Structure 1
């Protein structure tokens, strides 16, 4: 079983994000993939975690380093148990797993979005280029902004996805940001996922 935000779900969760959902559009090229160096957790990542925020739904995600500034929509599970995805035609839209932890609260919150669609790059096209120490900001309905620091960026194949590592419960406020990655085939789509691991560093008024 996989866990998303402390909710157990079926082991096919990542398939909606990693196999055949998105196709490379004209002139898209290959999205950046994380280096092995970024997959090693930051030695300081276990320190400097801010106190958890009260639960509040997120409304927007910003990652200035890769020019992401996008609204967030709630994502649920499909009938097969996989995590649903935002509408592929909306390139600048990301989603969050709304039955799980809200970003900034104690636990593991999950945000997901497209790497590209048939028209070209989408909201998380450059996610694999993030570095440890990068800032991710999540605006919330309670007029606060949860500020996260990236601890690691990794790419996993769909056949070797570390469920517990990515989705497992956390005693501190953490965030996962997920998009498609790894190898690509026009017949089957992307063969894996890029996953960003981050922890809550602080908050401010939105």
Structure 2
């Protein structure tokens, strides 16, 4: 009786990310870092603090601690899952940041502002963790991508108070929050497009056998 031999187990190597895949979560993270410091001014005051009647301690808790706490929690998920599922992490991260910015823009009390800042922190941390995870997995241009990303991150943190002060003094703190919305929509589209491209590349790679594998003797074209 003829018994069909079992198909061999073929282990395909995990495809390493390429440098341009960092651009999606990296762009979201840069927006998030900008929004982290945009509510502050170099003279120590804050338009949000004045508009909502917050004390310095309340602003520290609502504006900074809530944001950093959310970022710290979600950064772990980004680091653990971001390299393998960058789109599945980056798209929700961008949505969290978008919703957080909208809440902060229309906040009329400290509680709503805290919720918005916490959501923004969750989005920023997840996106930043994903970007770092992808950079660590790069096989080419890792140093260059890491250097450029770090430089842009510092620039976003520094420019936040400068641009925030200029815009907030002229048009109020709500406008500087809303300015981030179109950029976040672009980031959302960018992450979705990169996900589609990555999925298409993975399907094309799966359509071909690994290099050097000629098939079994029972398969057409297999080695005898």
Higher normalized helix content (fraction of residues): 2
- TM bucket by the smaller chain? under 0.3
Larger radius of gyration: 2
